[in-house]
Amino acid sequence: MALEGNLVLLTQLAVAILSLSLLGTLAISQATSRSSYGVNSTNIAQTFEQWMAKYGRIYPIGQEKGKRSAIFRTNLEYVESFNKQESKTYKLGLNQFSDMNNAEYCRHHTGYKRMPTSSTSFRYQNMSADDVPNSIDWRKQGAVTPVKYQAGCGCCWAFSAVAAVEGITKIRTGQLIPLSEQQLVDCNRDMYNIGCEGGNMVDAFRYIKTNGGITSEDNYQYTARDGACYSNKEKHHDATITGFEQVPRGEMHLLKAVSMQPVSVHIDAHGKDTTRVGYFREIVEYAIVVIGYGKTEDDID
């Protein structure tokens, strides 16, 4: 199917397909990891000290270390319990967010905001299910940049939008150009998108189209904080889009879309209480990009 213009896609619903890598309480995902940390008082204390050293954590004198240790223990115990369940198709592990509770993680590392949307045409509506490949990985097609770190700025919406534009730009032009999330944080500011305080990909795509494009990451580097808009950098366009569409409800619609290009989605980031496969209809707080699909080694979709 031929592509007409650089048209980015996003979903209408919160899709859980990739939510396993964004557990709000734990914020951990190691799909191939099956290690055991050995949960007991001595091992937890040792593991916590090792974890602090690995991630450079130094807590203020007082009760803060005890508080973080308790949260770490809760998360570690959950990891151990979860990984013992043979029916699960993935395993959990520790990372730099493991001393944070769910509320803290969502407050500092999410940032998706809902906004009114209207139905649009779907360019792959008439695509036959027989034309949808069994699997696709846009990383292997060179359409995905290395993972970027959002840090403590609530602008997941900007990262999701940029990743989708990077992907369609590579598909259409053959060039993979890391684009600027910071430009969206600083310059795309209105009643919906307010930098590190949250935003929405629809508004970001609308801004990119209206602005005539978006500049590169090299030209407008990420600072993980709100700043004044550099209009001279804003005017330098390294990628453009002709518009955007929303993917209708339904797994097949999503598969059609992702088989043709990376797609911006929003997902639930509330962690272990909402980790399940399917569509979430409740609170949505995190924006990512779907870059592929397929089967596990155990032949599970």
Same domain, 193 and 219: yes
**Number of domains, the chain:** 2
The answer as to whether 2 is a domain residue is no
Task: Look at residues 291, 292, 285 and name the one whose alpha carbon lies nearest to residue 14.
Answer: 285
Residue 42: what pLDDT? Answer: 61
Strand-pair category, 279-280 with 7-15: antiparallel
Distance from chain centroid for Cα 201: 12
Residue 116 shares a structural domain with residue 95: no
Within this chain, do residues 206 and 261 fall inside the same structural domain, yes or no?
yes
Residue 82 is part of a domain; what is its CATH number? 1.10.287.2250
H helices present in 197-247, as ranges: 201-211, 231-234
Is the pTM of the predicted complex or chain greater than 0.75? no
Cβ neighbours of 72 (radius 10 Å): 21
Q: Do 177 and 254 fall into the same domain?
A: yes
* Together in a domain, 18 and 67: no
Of 60, 76, 100, the last residue of a domain is: 100
186's enclosing H/E stretch is helix 181-187
Same domain, 57 and 116: no
What burial letters (b/e) apply to 180-190, b meaning 16+ CB within 10 Å? bbbbbbbbbbe
Question: How far is the C-alpha of 73 from the C-alpha of 40, rounded, in Å?
Answer: 9
Residue that is written with structure tokens 């990451």 in the block: 217
222 is a domain residue: yes
The residue ranges of the chain whose pLDDT is under 70 are 1-42, 89-90, 103, 105-120, 268-285, 296-301
Does residue 203 belong to any structural domain of this protein?
Answer: yes
Whether residue 248 sits in one domain with residue 124: yes
- Are 263 and 125 part of one and the same domain? yes
- What is the model's pLDDT at position 185? 95
CATH number at residue 141: 3.90.70.10
Distances (CA, A) of 242 to 127, 139, 196, 221: 21, 23, 26, 24
Judge if 128 and 270 occupy the same domain: yes
Contact 230, 220 (CB under 8 A): yes
Whether residue 149 is found in the same domain as residue 202: yes
Say how far apart CA 242 and CA 7 lie, in whole Å.
6
CA atoms within 13 A on the CB side of 281: 1
In this structure, the number of other CB atoms found within 10 A of the CB of residue 98 comes to: 25
Residue 299 within any structural domain of the chain = no
CB 19 within 8 A of CB 267: yes
> Is the same domain home to 114 and 90?
no
188 & 267 share domain: yes
Domain that holds residue 166: 7-25+110-293
Domain boundary among 81, 100, 119: 100
Which residue's entry shows tokens 């007409």? Answer: 4
Determine the residue type at 274.
T
32 domain-assigned: no
30 inside domain: no
Integer Cα distance of 248 and 143 in angstroms: 23
**Does the residue 140 lie in any domain?**
yes
Of 75, 100, 125, at which residue does a domain stop?
100
Tokens of 253: 């619609």
Q: What are the E-state strand segments in the chain? A: 7-15, 136-137, 243-247, 263-267, 279-280, 286-290, 292-293
Rounded CA-CA distance 297/31 in Å is: 11
Name the one residue in this structure whose structure tokens are 């001279």: 232
Q: Is 12 exposed, middle or buried (0-12, 13-18, 19+ CB in 10 A)?
A: middle
In a domain, 67, yes or no: yes
